């Protein structure tokens, strides 16, 4: 019996696939699904961050007793937890549906790839902005493009591999 995530994943796939034909000369359907679902999760992250920062935390520090988080870091931490799982579910049930790897193993591997990408982002920004004096926004865009490809191939060959 199929679970709710599989059913929703199929609906999302049908919607994404509707827009694929103009792009079919330039990329595979799987890469298109990866890009659309990843971009959608990014926009979801931005929206959720805005809501948490402004309406949940009210731009105030988050006091946890043993540590106090600034509002922007607390909002990042909360939204990261949510969008980590939504991103995983999109990749599992929309992009890489043919994987034979067990779900728990996929989740652990997905976390590893995300952690590596966070490190690449951090090191890349430090290098491009602090060492090479490039503009921060352009540096962030360049690193995001780079990590998109790293992440896609890592997810395809490691996290959600077929064999």
* Residue bearing tokens 């780079």: 146
Domain hosting residue 47, numbered range: 1-97
Q: Are strands 68-69 and 62-63 parallel, antiparallel or unpaired?
A: antiparallel
Of 73, 97, 121, which closes a domain? 97
Of 68, 97, 126, which closes a domain? 97
Q: How far apart are CA 159 and CA 152, in angstroms?
A: 10
Contacts of 67 (CB under 8 A, 6+ apart): none
Looking at the structure, do residues 21 and 1 belong to the same domain, yes or no? yes
Looking at the structure, do residues 91 and 121 belong to the same domain, yes or no? no
Q: How many domains does the chain have?
A: 2
Give tens-digit pLDDT for 95-145: 999 999 999 999 999 999 999 999 998 999 899 998 999 898 898 889 889
pTM for the structure as a whole: 0.88
Looking at the structure, do residues 18 and 78 belong to the same domain, yes or no? yes
Give tens-digit pLDDT for 67-81: 998 988 899 899 999
**pLDDT reported for residue 151:** 94
Contacts of 110 (CB under 8 A, 6+ apart): 87, 88, 91, 155, 159
**pLDDT reported for residue 72:** 87
Q: Please state the separation of Cα 113 from the chain's center in Å.
A: 10
Of 41, 69, 97, which closes a domain? 97
């Amino acid at each position: 019996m199929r679970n709710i995530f599989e059913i929703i994943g199929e609906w999302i796939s049908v919607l994404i696939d509707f827009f694929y034909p103009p792009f079919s000369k330039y990329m595979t359907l799987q890469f298109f699904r990866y890009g659309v679902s990843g971009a959608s999760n990014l926009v979801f992250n931005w929206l959720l961050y805005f809501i948490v920062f402004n309406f949940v935390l009210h731009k105030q520090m988050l006091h946890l007793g043993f540590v106090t988080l600034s509002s922007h870091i607390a909002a990042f931490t909360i939204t990261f937890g949510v969008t980590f799982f939504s991103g995983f579910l999109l990749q599992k049930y929309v992009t890489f549906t043919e994987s034979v790897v067990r779900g728990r193993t996929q989740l652990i591997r997905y976390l590893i790839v995300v952690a590596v990408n966070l490190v690449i982002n951090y090191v890349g920004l430090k290098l491009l902005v602090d060492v090479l004096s490039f503009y921060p926004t352009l540096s962030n865009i360049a690193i995001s493009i780079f990590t998109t490809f790293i992440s896609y191939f890592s997810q395809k060959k490691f996290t959600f591999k077929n064999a």
